[in-house]
Structure 1
Amino acid sequence: MTTRRTLLAGAGAVAGASFIGFQPALAAIRPPVARVEPVVMSRFGITTTDPYRWMENPKDPDWLPYAKGQGAYARHVLDTIPGRAALEKRISGLSGGTEAVREIQRAGDNLFLTVRPAGASTIRLEVKGPTGNRRVLLDPNLMKGEDGVHISIDWWRASPDGAYVVYGSSPAGSEESVGRIIRVADGITLKETFERALFGPALWLPDSSGFFLNRLSDKSVPGSPEYFMKSVCWLHKLGQDPKDDLNVATYGLNKIVDLTEVEVPIIFPSDDSKFALLLGVDGVRREVSIWSASLDGIVAGSPLWTKICAQDDKITGYALSGSTLYLISEKESPLGRVVAIDLEVPNLLNAKEVVPASKNPIEGIGVASDGLYIQIMDGGPQGLRRLSKNGELSDVKMPFEAGIYAIFGNVNRPGIDMVLGGWLQHRGIWNYSPDTDTFSDTGLSPTPNIDLTPFESKRYLAKAKDGTQIPYVVISAKNATKRGPAPCLADAYGAYQISNTPFLNLRWLAMMEQGGIFMFASVRGGGDYGRPWYEAGKKATKFNTWNDYIACCEDMIARGLTSPSKLTIKGTSAGGIAVGRAMTTRPDLFAGVICDVGSMNSSRTEVEQNGPGNFPEFGDPSVAEEYRNLVGMDTYLNVKDDIAYPAVMVITGATDPRVAPYHGAKLAARLQALPKQKKPVLMRVTFDEGHGIGSTREQIDSKSADEHAFTLWRAGAPGFQPRA
């Protein structure tokens, strides 16, 4: 017998469903009401009640009808906003009007590129030969998965001689990659396939005869907390049956290689070295464990491993050339310094400092034939330094105030290629030449014919609760706030030491043309000022993340840039903590809230497949203090019964492998059931998308149109108000 309330699925008017009033014309359709089945849990002296715990089970018979009903309701409401359709048309023109090149690799005599042609949905893989002609190797735009869902390229890597490419692809943004090999000369796909190849790309042997590839354990169960644990790094030789591949590294395989269950083993060879590295990558941590051995010994199945460093040594970056291993060390220098060790006699204690710590945090390093390149951070904008072969350290002058989105180098070639972008500079692929000490635009990624001169970016500082100065950037048309506060979509992230670097999304122009503005807050938990900034917004100090966000919003309001009645805040993925707790802390400060595939129920991540890998970032619920921190950052548990919250749109994708859909679903159900909640609460659900990685251009355009239309609607912008 069950006493649970029957789920009212479907999007039609439902007797007994709680009314969420906001426009008379929208009252004819209501969201489905979730069944209430409270689960009371006590842990470490903290008692919580979860009325929607059942949503954690995607096989629950009520889940799919509920998700479909919520999705239909949200779709109806968003499509009723008068200006939304025109907004999406404009966004589509901005996003798809010009060909875009995302990644490149120089290998042999070939240049490989991932290209999204003008108007295309997804990227394809092309090769440019020595004659300069380009041809398509792989085009997912011409492929379909089961039920007609789209296919995306998740990762790829060309062999050093340029003769082969190994790639991973998956359906519907699921990131469930299957690896395959293409022969470049004729475009033929070889017979070998590699299931569960989620942690690409593959890393090739210097002689191009095979590659190392990490794959999930064949005992992995999708959806379980153990799903990503005990993965295996295999050596595959071309033409070999994958069943005969060599197990090179995994948990428990070797006593010296003391990998943990959650560490992902990756073998990293170098084209100019007889050594290779074994990396232990622990979930989302920047710190890595490293072992070294001769490449010949690894290939023969008899490596003599030497441990270089453990997680506690705080090594956050590496580069290998010959017998020299370069490491970014943050143990004694939180902003990072570069040390070098000789792998002939490897000992971290005898490491030689080659790049001292400075005021600018070191974010990454890479080797080219002319020296070592060091990527640095300066409060958002990024820069570059170069250590020449003769030991001379110099600063490289950037072409503009830029964000560095990728670096492509090769130990056999001088200089580097970089993907650069600015707040109001189009993204492009630039080449740095050490011979001339200058950058030049390669022209590989065409510049859109879009005039950016009507727009501007300005950087401000807000004072946080503890007095810390928090930077934020506002992007707008030059006259946006001339007549008073403007509709604003504010964004923050604040996790994993990821920085708020300059970048431009052309889709923003559509909302700015309607008088809207954008704000991006560099809250603590990110990496804008290095490890200290990150540690100040992590676990026990996570509250700084959402308090910094609130401070930036308050500062904008004080400057007259926007107002509480015109301000919508947004957080994506881990940024869901920032946006959700800002909402529950200061519900009076915002007109709207967008939680995009966000972590809204952090205290329960232990039950989802991506949970254990995130324990180092947010906390382990089996540890008392860390569980208290998780409850403190849990938006869902911090919703109060007697509060009226702003309008909310939670966004989720049914195939999301990183943040389970129940996060947004629980929050939506909780808010919709509140007695004082009169403003709309929407749960936007798509069933052929995941976390956003692998989404098609049209899917991204549609979501952007929804977010921008929602923001303008809640700000009262003319032309975006549903008719009464």
Structure 2
Amino acid sequence: MKLTTALTAAVLVLPLAAPAAPKGAAKKAPPTEKQEKVDTYHGTEVKDPYQWLEASTDPKVQQWNDAQNAHTRAMLDKLPGREAIRQRVTELLSWKSPAYYGLKEAGGTLLTMKSQPPKQQAFLVVLSSVDDTSKERVLLDPSAVDPSGHTTIDWFVPTLDGKKVAVSLSKKGTESGDVTVYDVATGKPVSTEVVPKVNGGTAGGSLAWNKDGTGFFYTRYPRGEERPPADRDFFQQVYFHKVGTPTEKDTYALGKDFPRIAMTDLETSEDGQYTSALVANGDGGEYMLYLHGPSGQWTQVSKFEDKVIGSHFGHDGALYLLSRKDAPRGRVLRLPLATPTLDKATVVVPEGEATILGVYPTKTRVYLVEQLGGPSQLRMVDLKGQALGLVPTLPVSSVGGLVSLDGDDVLFGNGSFVQPSAWYRYSAKDNKAAKTALARTSPLDMSDVEVVRAEATSKDGTKVPLTILKKKGTKLNGNNPALLTGYGGFNISISPGFSPLVGLWLEQGGVYAVANLRGGSEFGEKWHAEGSLTKKQNVFDDFYACAKLLVDQKYTQPKKLAIQGGSNGGLLMGAAVTQHPEMYGAVVARVGIYDMLRVELTPNGQFNITEYGTVKDPEQFKALHAYSPLHNVKDGTKYPSVLFTSGANDPRVDPFHSRKMVARMQEATTSKNPILLRANAETGHGAGTPLNARIEEEVDVYSFVFNSLGMKYQPPAKKLSAPAPQ
């Protein structure tokens, strides 16, 4: 259950950008001391004068950080139109129509996460029906646990009978989640014990109940003095906890021989007889699979080289496997639980044109979530693999979150760039998908938005999908402000998703574009591999090709083109602005990685080695050094306006990356455009950020973007009426 490095839709889909300095504002950034420091890699000397900024707890670093934040506030708080932008951003992000996600069914009970402003965090509710939300009941509200709004629910897992639910709670964006078991009927804790740090920002966390709900397998990080401090975010193992007993008495189950950077996802079969453990080797996409059965023993089903990347229990005594062995876009295998060895597996669905992302067996059929270049579809086959057609879904949309109902009926989430996500019930008998009451309304009218699917040609000739959103009738004269985003890594795709802030951008006459770059999952493992390790430069070439298409086809021009990205997408922003500074008018880089030579010295950076590579390998060092944003900032360059954001509690990307990059760019640039750092002391990588903090960040981002591109905010002529309270 590790959150993707891309993080949340909030980071991936929300548009961002950067500012040209406002008139009359203090333009000079605080000075940064340089210290003589040289590291040598394979005979190559690399100067690192800002390495001292890595020490987050050093009072000198904190003083520097505070000075940068004060400089940023002096710039952003005086931007023209800021209060009007604040009003609109607040209005859009505080829209009271609720969003439901993470829906699960257990023993006839439906549980789901619900997000509804003005609540600062999402909360857990029990539903009596997906067609009537009037009788829903709040099971656990983090705001009641912590009125400050800084505690969040990481995930929840109900027992098979739906009577109890295990919930992971973490604070201030740390993702360090402790598990408490609650009674579903009363919402009260079942017992006093809390299982500590089942979830973490490095290896994530997971949990699977036994058949009768008396205990569960869970992911356990080292405790106390079991390991030295440097190892306590690693060596995740699987233990068993019996409800009502002290967690100190939990018993070891699996994982002593796992890699240091193992990440495990656990699942229980429908009848509770089996538990699976899918173990990842860091973030690079390698997995091995273990199975626990009635014998009480764990059996290894697959190794990393077998390329089984996913599994799901069927209703027919089988485990359905998603394999990429000799099938880069995936194929589905059926493995009888009675003989769980790969040589007994049979091919149910061979590799096809689409990339298979998920496999969901029901009573007599298998549902497949498939992707082609970004958008996804829901395809069906019977248990022998015979085609049964596609489930009706929105055009250019995303599908996910399948929940099995009676027989072959399912619930699934579906949303697009122009329609908020909703839950649909698909009737296998009628071949119809009906929208349920779990559907969010839009706070603005997107009916006049056109979704254009285009292809850019990268440096090596590869065709790169690009989705462009614009108002109908937008003139392609090169004068439109445009906002381009991308990610390109970790087998993650930016799929179509609704963002009210994209709506804000469009209602101001902007063009919004999403690039589906190599490194993602858009076209299977080959597409991913061509954007990872020593081939990472392909990602940046792909992004530049997409930016160039927007300019060449006169959607915009460089000085009116803003780009944004977060996490691995923040790295993309760093590479984009250092490789082609002339191409962009503004850059917003959120929680990004910029020093590729020292990222692996951080805990989560070691999990990233299987995706990025390591400086210990000569060829990988050469590739990392060639594109590392920090090491490619050039003195005397006229850089565009750049806004860097970071969270002090970020467990995935150390804030030192942003500090070092800001210091180096401020030193090097010869333009009057600001290089700003927005460092938040109360947040992390994005997960668990309270609503008010999100609003504050987006107000800063959009004020920055509008000013950078010379845009004047215009209040929208047409507003929708507020939704009825729920």
- TM-score normalised according to structure 1 size: 0.90
Match of 1:339 among 323, 333, 339: 333
Partner of 1:197: 198
Give the match's secondary structure for 1:645. coil
Q: Equivalent residue for 1:233?
A: 238
State the Cα deviation string for residues 655-699 of structure 1 (Å, max 9, x = none): 111011011110001111126243100001111111111112222
Is 2:427 the counterpart of 1:433?
Answer: yes
Partner residue in 2 for 1:542: 536
Quote the Cα distance in structure 1 between the aligned partners of 2:121 and 2:293: 40
| Cα distance, 1:248 vs structure 2 | 0.9
Aligned to 1:580: 574
> Superposition pairs for residues 304-703 of structure 1, below 5 Å?
305-321=298-314, 323-389=317-383, 391-404=385-398, 406-410=400-404, 414-448=408-442, 450-481=444-475, 484-674=478-668, 676-703=670-697
Give CA deviations for 1:338-392 in whole Å, capped at 9, x if unaligned: 1122232233234211101111111111222333221111111111222324653
| CA 1:141–1:293: 2 relative to 1, 3 Å | closer
Alpha-carbon contact 1:490-1:518 (below 8 Å) kept: yes
Q: Secondary structure at the match of 2:197?
A: coil
Question: 1:269 touches 1:275 (CA, 8 Å); kept in 2?
Answer: yes
Query: Is the Cα contact below 8 Å between 2:322 and 2:330 reproduced in 1?
Result: yes
Shift of 1:229: 1.4
Aligned partner letter, 2:271: D
Does 2:25 match 1:26? Answer: yes
Q: Which moves more between the two structures, 697-706 or 418-427? A: 697-706
Spell out, residue by residue over 1:34-61, the C-alpha distance to the aligned partner (whole angstroms, 9 max, x if none). Answer: 2221320111132211111112221222
Moved more, 355-364 or 285-294: 285-294
Whether 1:213 and 2:218 are equivalent positions in the alignment is yes
Q: 1:576, CA displacement in angstroms?
A: 2.0
User: 1:288 Cα shift?
Assistant: 1.4
Q: Distance in 1 between matches of 2:526 and 2:234?
A: 30
Q: Which residue of 2 aligns with 1:103?
A: 102
Structure 1 CA distance for aligned equivalents of residues 530 and 336 of structure 2: 35
The Cα offsets for residues 384-405 of structure 1, whole Å up to 9 and x where unpaired, read as 2223246533222332125435
Distance across 1 between alignment mates of 2:586 and 2:20? 15
> What corresponds to 2:717 in structure 1?
none
Displacement of 1:549 after TM fit?
A: 0.6
- Three-state SS of the structure 1 residue aligned to 2:652 is coil
Shift of 1:412: 6.7
AA partner of residue 362 (structure 1): I
> For each residue in 1:443-471, what CA deviation from the matched residue of structure 2 results, as whole angstroms up to 9, or x when unmatched?
21342363211222212111111111111
Distance 1:83 1:317 in 2: 49
Q: CA 1:569–1:630 in 2, change beyond 3 Å: closer, same or farther?
A: same
- What amino acid is the match of 2:286? E
Distance (whole Å) between structure 2 residues aligned to residue 225 and residue 517 of structure 1: 46
Aligned-partner Cα distance in 1 for 2:576–2:384: 51
1:77 maps onto 2:70 in alignment? no
Deviations 1:236-275 (A, max 9, x none): 12212211111111223xxxxxx21211344432123633
The residue that corresponds to 2:139 in the other structure is 137
Change (3 A) 1:718 1:409: closer
**TM-score w.r.t. structure 2 length?**
0.90
Q: Is the 8 A contact 2:478 2:551 kept in 1?
A: no
Per-residue CA distance 1:508-553 (angstroms, 9 max, x = gap): 2222222222111111111211112111111111111011111111
Q: Give 5+ residue unaligned stretches, structure 1.
A: 1-19, 253-258, 298-302
Q: Distance in 1 between matches of 2:647 and 2:569?
A: 16
| Aligned residue identity for 1:184 | V
Q: Aligned in 2, Cα 1:635/1:163: closer, same or farther, shift over 3 Å?
A: same
29-38 or 345-354: bigger deviation? 29-38
Question: 1:221 & 1:454 partners in 2: Cα distance?
Answer: 60
Match of 2:163 in 1: 163
* Cα separation, partners in 2 of 1:689 and 1:675, compared to 1, 3 Å: closer
Say which structure, 1 or 2, has more relative contact order (CA 8 Å, 6+ apart).
2
**Does the 8 Å contact 1:594/1:707 carry over to 2?**
yes
Q: Note the C-alpha offset of 1:439.
A: 1.3
* Alpha carbons 1:54, 1:60 under 8 Å: kept: no
Q: Which amino acid aligns with 1:100?
A: A
Choose from 245, 248, 252 the match for 1:247.
Answer: 252
> For residues 719 and 502 of structure 1, what CA distance do their matches in structure 2 show?
26
Moved more, 79-88 or 601-610: 79-88
Equivalenced residue count is: 686
In structure 2, the partner of 1:123 is: 122
Name 1:3's counterpart in structure 2: none
- Structure 1 residue 483: Cα displacement: 6.1
Task: Give the distance between the partners of 1:516 and 1:85, measured in 2 at CA.
Answer: 20
Residue 260 (structure 1) aligns with: 259
Verify the 8 A CA contact 1:584 1:635 in the aligned structure 2.
Answer: yes
Deviation at 1:92, TM superposition (A): 2.0
Evaluate the alpha carbon distance shift between residue 280 and residue 708 of structure 1 in structure 2; reply closer, same or farther with a 3 A threshold.
same
1:95 Cα deviation from its structure 2 partner: 2.2
User: In 2 relative to 1, CA 589–482 (structure 1 residues): closer, same or farther, beyond 3 Å?
Assistant: closer
Change in CA separation of 1:150 and 1:672 when aligned onto 2, cut-off 3 Å: same
Distance 1:453 1:412 in 2: 36
Question: What SS is found at the alignment partner of 2:668?
Answer: coil
Amino acid at match of 1:203: A
Compared CA separation, residues 164 and 275, structure 1 to 2 (3 A) = closer
Q: Give the counterpart letter for 2:196 in structure 1.
A: E
Corresponding residue for residue 9 of structure 2: none
Contact 2:380–2:387 (Cα < 8 Å) also in 1? yes
> Which whole-Å CA distance do the structure 2 matches of 1:32 and 1:491 have between them?
30
Separation of aligned partners in 2, 1:385 and 1:220: 50
The one-letter code matched in structure 2 to 1:197 is V
Structure 2 vs 1, CA of residues 220 and 682 (structure 1 numbering), >3 Å: closer, same or farther?
Answer: farther
Where 2:198 maps in the other structure, the secondary structure is coil
Q: Cα 1:643–1:82, aligned 2, differ >3 Å: closer, same or farther?
A: same
- Evaluate the alpha carbon distance shift between residue 278 and residue 682 of structure 1 in structure 2; reply closer, same or farther with a 3 A threshold: same
Q: Which sits farther off after the overlay, 443-452 or 635-644?
A: 443-452
CA-to-partner distance for each residue in 1:401-450, whole Å, 9 max, x for gaps?
25435323348753222221111122111122222222111121342363
- Structure 1 residues 631 and 449: CA distance shift in structure 2, 3 A: closer
- Match in the other structure for 1:56: 54
Pair 636,405 (structure 1): closer, same or farther in 2 beyond 3 Å: farther
Q: What's the CA shift for 1:485? A: 1.9
| Closer/same/farther in 2, CA of residues 335 and 609 from structure 1, 3 Å limit | same
Q: CA deviation at 1:21?
A: 9.3
**% of aligned pairs identical?**
28
8 Å CA contact 1:234–1:248 kept in 2: the answer is yes
Contact 2:166 2:180 in 1 (8 A): yes
Q: Which stretch of structure 1 is more off in the superposition, 189-198 or 698-707? A: 698-707
The DSSP-based 3-state class of the residue aligned with 2:373 is coil
Q: Is the 8 A contact 1:227 1:609 kept in 2?
A: no
Q: Secondary structure at the match of 1:610?
A: helix
The residue aligned with 2:702 is 708
Using a 3 Å threshold, how does the CA distance of structure 1 residues 393 and 661 change in structure 2: closer, same or farther? same
CA distance in 1, matches of 2:526, 2:535: 11
